Structure 1
């Protein structure tokens, strides 16, 4: 994981969890609760549910108020992830963490070709996130 990319990610003004789930056993829910437990401003992105973990959900990253200053964690199948990355590029979202399983070769190829500086192929935010939180304390 590139430390500069990780620093930019964790110091974002707002976070969104793409693939947030109401099922507490799924990673989309666990990642959302991680942000909540650390009192980080987070929005669930779920096109079917109005709320996830008592937080109003949005249907798409297009609904993020300030996309240039937001960071997104993506927990979706690779085919869905590819579409999310294309929309993120269009919206100017630069802080992107692909949680394990959200990427495949096509996703990684697109990210490279599009010039996206993503966190991928590595640890989940549930594992790596706690060590990054010290950077937020310095804001």
Structure 2
């Protein structure tokens, strides 16, 4: 699958998004990427174990909170994120590679995770060969956007191509 195809499949009109490594610090990409989702009115859940709210969005401490909500047919993640009607989860990673690797292992620890995860976007600096190998081991390598692709650069194109046929 080409990177362009993977970018297009990362997006969907009924997708839930999450940002692993979301940050309150405006100089960090964890803030800038979250801002991109917010500015495009996309449903996004920030993930950060050390924050409670970023850009007026309730933060969840772990990705497993989100996946378990999908697999338990709950319509809520935390107090304020409604996931009803969503076709799955696409995740942008802005964490250091060792955290990205452990997050991928967390994802794989949740039963039926493959039915929930629809895209993984490894932002520049969030991955190394171990991350790519782990994505392969857990059977999600076909969903991975990487190769120095940045959502701030390619996101508009992917979002447009995913929603253009409506």
- Regarding TM over 0.5, the answer is yes
Task: Give the deviation of 1:120 after TM superposition.
Answer: 1.4
What whole-Å deviation, never above 9, does each CA across 1:21-47 have from its counterpart, x for those lacking one?
000110000000000111100010010
Between the aligned partners of 1:137 and 1:63, the Cα distance in structure 2 is 31
Query: Aligned Cα RMSD in Å?
Result: 1.7
CA distance in 2, matches of 1:61, 1:112: 19
Which string of whole-angstrom CA distances, capped at 9 and with x for unpartnered residues, describes residues 28-69 of structure 1?
A: 000000001111000100101110111100000111132770
Structure 1 pair 90–6 and aligned structure 2 pair: CA distance change class (3 A): farther
Alignment match, 1:37: 39
**Cα distance in 1, alignment partners of residues 33 and 58 from structure 2:** 16
Q: What are the ranges of 5 or more consecutive residues in structure 2 without an aligned counterpart?
A: 72-86
Quick one: which of 135, 138, 152 aligns to 1:114?
A: 138
- The whole-number CA distance in structure 1 between the counterparts of 2:6 and 2:107 is 16
CA contact (8 A) 1:88 1:94 kept: no
User: In structure 2, what is the Cα distance between the partners aligned to 1:7 and 1:87?
Assistant: 25
Question: Unpaired segments of 5 or more residues in structure 1?
Answer: none
Q: 1:31, 1:2 → 2: CA distance? A: 19
User: Which of the numbers 90, 98, 108 marks the counterpart of 1:79?
Assistant: 98
TM-score (normalizing by structure 2)? 0.77
- When structure 1 is superposed on structure 2, of 129-138 and 73-82 the one drifting more is 129-138
Name the residue aligned to 1:13.
15
Larger CA deviation: 92-101 vs 113-122: 113-122
Offset at 1:137? 4.1
Cα distance between partner residues in 2 of 1:137 and 1:40: 16
Give the structure with higher Rg (CA): 2
The within-5 A match list for 1:89-128 is: 89-91=108-110, 92=113, 93-116=117-140, 117=142, 118-128=144-154
Paired residue for 1:130?
A: 156
Q: Which residue of 1 aligns with 2:81?
A: none
